[in-house]
Amino acid sequence: MELVCGPIRPVDVEGEIPFVCSLVANGKSTLIGVMYGVGCRIDQLWQEFKIPTTKLEEWISDGIFRGIYTPGSSDIYISDGDRLKVRLCHESDIHIHTINPAVVSQCVTRWLEMGYRIHRGRVSGGKGWKEVWSVEDAISALNDQPT
């Protein structure tokens, strides 16, 4: 399932980076894939490379400091295999791809508490997006996923 919060202010995208990093850190992977995308100021766009999971927040901060990545104006992709995929999006929102109920619950709980709009997409047989109003709504959508 895909969850999206936002659009939110670029400063809020930056403020969500520690939370996103904690989601990734809660997995068992020691290495994760990262990739720069739309709007990043570097020649190595769309080239995934591996970094230690424990260095993710530092890697993102370094990209901001060096002017490569601008929260809310450029894309960073993070992949923890099939467990979790994250995009810090150039449209000033955050995309989470997962079928892990704990991750879904953490995201929805936090983002509703922050007052962010949340949508879910790619539900079996459906098209477009549906607004999420509760953790239960998001978790129930996991049952609609194709196997």
In this prediction the pTM is 0.92
**Does any domain span residue 51?**
yes
**Does any domain span residue 147?**
no
Residue 112 sits in which domain range?
Answer: 2-142
- Statement: residue 143 has pLDDT above 60: yes
As a whole number of angstroms, the distance between CA 23 and CA 5 comes to 15
Q: What is the pLDDT of residues 48-103, one digit of tens each?
A: 999 999 999 999 999 999 999 999 999 999 999 999 999 999 999 999 999 999 99
- The tally of domains found in the chain comes to 1
**What distances in angstroms separate CA 138 from CA 37, 105, 106, 113, one per listed residue?**
28, 8, 11, 15
Classify strands 2-5 and 94-97 as parallel, antiparallel or unpaired: antiparallel
Share of the chain above pLDDT 70, in %: 93
**Does any domain span residue 32?**
yes
**Does any domain span residue 65?**
yes
